[in-house]
């Protein structure tokens, strides 16, 4: 049965069907290391991952036989799931790297997908918002066990819901993206601008699902509230705080909070079937304001590669704060734990993102110091699975069989 928007719309900006029409095959494009690190010359030597400023991942590619297996696996999933275009970046210290762009960036012009594109990163935004929150914890300006009522008024049961509950998806607050009126209002006018208070109002008119801390339920309501906390305590717009405190120190020069629906060039067109009539449409220019602190940001392969390691290892936080962040609690989804704005799946740590038109995965495997980044120009599920999860699973089954990324869509 074809899903309707109410089943998953914008659960979106993480865990989260019909298949796109046939896509003509475009040969996979190999990108050499020099092409991948195209911004190195502008970063003053800070783009490398090693402590001495040098990259600890060999510049050469993976062995040819392994590369061929990955090419086949990625292309097989892309064809089967009807994904227009995919960008894959895999870096494995001691073994080499694998970067591919395959399929099309535009279903109309048939322009090929390339590795230098910008995409909307959906729920990966949460890793930035929670990092901002934890920086304020490090500065002693807030405490994780402070109630949200100390910062934002009129939150249902706000005296008992802590910042920790919100960051860990254990508040019990109703996800505003699951509200039928919100879904109708957004899909009736995807260009509309929503304010944080407007989207929260959709959620606050529902009863809380459970007592704070009782269980896990993914809710974008939580992250919008945390965005408001960052703004109130810092005295800055969330976008400005993230830019100054995170993006600049991390040298993420191609990551941004958009002020409107614009997305930098070059970018692929993004396709979704999250529409009122379940038709597939081009959602590239939809306004992401409704997702804000939960899912509005934009980035590229270069920056996501850097961010994967930074967020997983806590470069921008005190060790004790990072340890709290990485305390993974059960989600009810087999093999997946959730910390504070970050998850663990099969040993891979990071986050995925899904927003109408685009999906991403940015994860780091501490045991191998490996990084995997995926960027897709669709969020249309295939047999109930997020397309990005299908690609990530196929890749990790080959390169890290003891650590397979496996994120099934949770029960609705």
pLDDT per position as a tens digit, 254-294: 999 999 999 999 999 999 999 999 999 999 999 999 999 99
Q: Would you say 337 and 343 are in contact if contact means Cβ atoms under 8 Å apart? A: yes
> What is the chain's percent helix, strand, coil content, to nearest 5?
35, 15, 50
Q: What is the pLDDT of residue 406?
A: 85
Q: What is the pLDDT of residue 56?
A: 56
Phi/psi of residue 99, each to 5°? -130, 125
User: Average pLDDT in the 213-218 region?
Assistant: 98
pLDDT per position as a tens digit, 316-339: 999 999 999 999 999 998 889 999
- pLDDT band at 174; cut points 50, 70, 90: very high
pTM of the model: 0.88
Q: What is the pLDDT of residue 1?
A: 29
CA distance 127 to 347: 17
% pLDDT > 90, the chain: 83
pLDDT per position as a tens digit, 358-410: 999 999 999 999 999 999 999 999 999 999 999 999 999 999 999 999 865 54
Q: Could you tell me the two tokens for 74?
A: 């990625």
Q: Would you say 291 and 220 are in contact if contact means Cβ atoms under 8 Å apart? A: yes
Q: Could you tell me the two tokens for 368?
A: 């191998």
pLDDT per position as a tens digit, 1-51: 233 444 455 444 444 322 222 222 233 443 333 223 333 323 333 334 443
- pLDDT band at 189; cut points 50, 70, 90: very high
Nearest C-alpha neighbor of 382 from the set 409, 342, 354, 410:
409
- E strand intervals along 237-347: 271-272, 281-282, 298-300, 329-330, 336-338, 343-345
> Which residue shows structure tokens 């699951």?
178
Q: What is the pLDDT of residue 60?
A: 77
- pLDDT band at 52; cut points 50, 70, 90: very low
- pLDDT band at 250; cut points 50, 70, 90: very high
Range 4-7 contact pairs with CB under 8 angstroms and sequence separation of 24 or more: 4/278, 5/183, 5/187, 5/274, 5/275, 5/276, 5/278, 6/178, 6/180, 6/183, 7/412
Q: What interhelical angle do 387-399 and 64-81 show, nearest 10?
A: 160
Q: What is the pLDDT of residue 9?
A: 52
Q: Would you say 257 and 297 are in contact if contact means Cβ atoms under 8 Å apart? A: yes
Q: What is the pLDDT of residue 408?
A: 56
User: Average pLDDT in the 197-216 region?
Assistant: 98
User: Average pLDDT in the 110-134 region?
Assistant: 98
pLDDT per position as a tens digit, 147-173: 999 999 999 999 999 999 999 999 999
């Amino acid at each position: 049965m074809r899903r309707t928007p109410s089943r998953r719309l914008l659960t979106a900006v993480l865990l989260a069907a019909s298949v796109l029409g046939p896509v003509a095959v475009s040969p996979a494009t190999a990108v050499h290391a020099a092409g991948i690190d195209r911004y190195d010359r502008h970063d003053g030597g800070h783009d490398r991952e090693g402590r001495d400023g040098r990259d600890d991942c060999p510049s050469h590619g993976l062995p040819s036989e392994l590369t061929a297996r990955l090419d086949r696996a990625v292309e097989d999933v892309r064809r089967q799931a009807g994904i227009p275009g995919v960008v894959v970046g895999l870096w494995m210290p001691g073994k080499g790297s694998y970067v591919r762009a395959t399929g099309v960036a535009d279903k109309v012009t048939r322009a090929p997908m390339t590795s230098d594109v910008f995409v909307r990163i959906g729920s990966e935004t949460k890793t930035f918002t929670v990092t901002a929150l934890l920086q304020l914890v490090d500065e002693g300006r807030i405490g994780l066990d402070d109630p949200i009522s100390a910062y934002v008024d009129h939150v249902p049961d706000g005296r008992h819901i802590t910042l920790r509950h919100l960051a860990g998806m254990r508040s019990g607050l109703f996800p505003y993206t699951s509200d039928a009126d919100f879904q109708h209002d957004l899909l009736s006018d995807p260009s509309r601008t929503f304010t944080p208070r407007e989207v929260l109002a959709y959620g606050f008119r529902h009863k809380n699902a459970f007592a704070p801390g009782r269980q896990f339920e993914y809710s974008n309501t939580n992250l919008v509230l945390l965005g408001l906390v960052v703004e109130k305590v810092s005295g800055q717009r969330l976008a400005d705080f993230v830019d100054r405190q995170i993006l600049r120190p991390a040298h993420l020069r191609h990551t941004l909070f958009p002020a409107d629906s614009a997305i930098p060039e070059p970018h692929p067109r993004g396709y979704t079937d999250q529409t009122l009539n379940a038709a597939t449409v081009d959602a590239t220019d939809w306004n992401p304001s409704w997702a804000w602190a939960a899912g509005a940001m934009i980035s590229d392969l270069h920056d996501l590669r850097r961010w994967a390691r930074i967020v997983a290892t806590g470069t921008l936080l005190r060790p004790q704060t990072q340890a709290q962040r990485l305390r993974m609690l059960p989600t009810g989804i087999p093999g997946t734990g959730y910390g504070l704005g970050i998850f663990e799946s099969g040993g891979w740590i990071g986050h995925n993102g899904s927003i109408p038109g685009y999906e991403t995965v940015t994860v780091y495997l501490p045991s191998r110091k490996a990084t995997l980044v995926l960027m897709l120009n669709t969020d249309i599920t295939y047999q109930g699975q997020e397309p990005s999860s299908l690609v990530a699973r196929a890749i990790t089954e080959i390169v890290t069989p003891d650590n397979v990324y496996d994120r099934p869509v949770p029960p609705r």
